[in-house]
Amino acid sequence: MDMWLKEGLDPCLPDISGVEYLLDMVNPDGLGWCRFEPMGGASPHSWAEIEAFSRAADLRLDPWEARQIRAMSAAFVRERVRGADPMVVSPVFQDRPDEDPGVAVERRRVSDQLSSGLDALLG
């Protein structure tokens, strides 16, 4: 995401009007996006963690809200792993990878590095 913002690209995120409060629940001061493991891995929040957070914060979540928080946590972990590979197509552009501006930026960066390396070898 940082690369997209640095390049001035639109990350094409979905409209979440009306449910922004769910994002407040997963911010670092709340439940957080996922559970970080001691050795550096991450896993989605368990149902027990979501229930405990709901009770502790006196939120009384509806079932669909708990399911959505669980789904957001699982998606965050899955895409965090995928996002470590700079050549992976953004989920927004899965059906049309050649239109992914992030891939174009990464290809340009790799090309520039190769050009610099070749210039140094030949120079």
Q: Regarding predicted confidence, which is higher, 65 or 12? A: 65
Q: Classify residue 111 as exposed, middle or buried by CB count within 10 Å of its CB (0-12, 13-18, 19+).
A: exposed
66 pLDDT above the threshold of 90:
yes
Whole-prediction pTM: 0.64
52 pLDDT above the threshold of 90:
yes
Q: 59 near 39, Cβ under 8 Å?
A: no
Of 60, 53, 51, the residue nearest 25 (C-alpha): 53
Instruction: State the Cα–Cα distance between residues 62 and 64, nearest whole angstrom.
Output: 5
Q: Regarding predicted confidence, which is higher, 1 or 17? A: 17
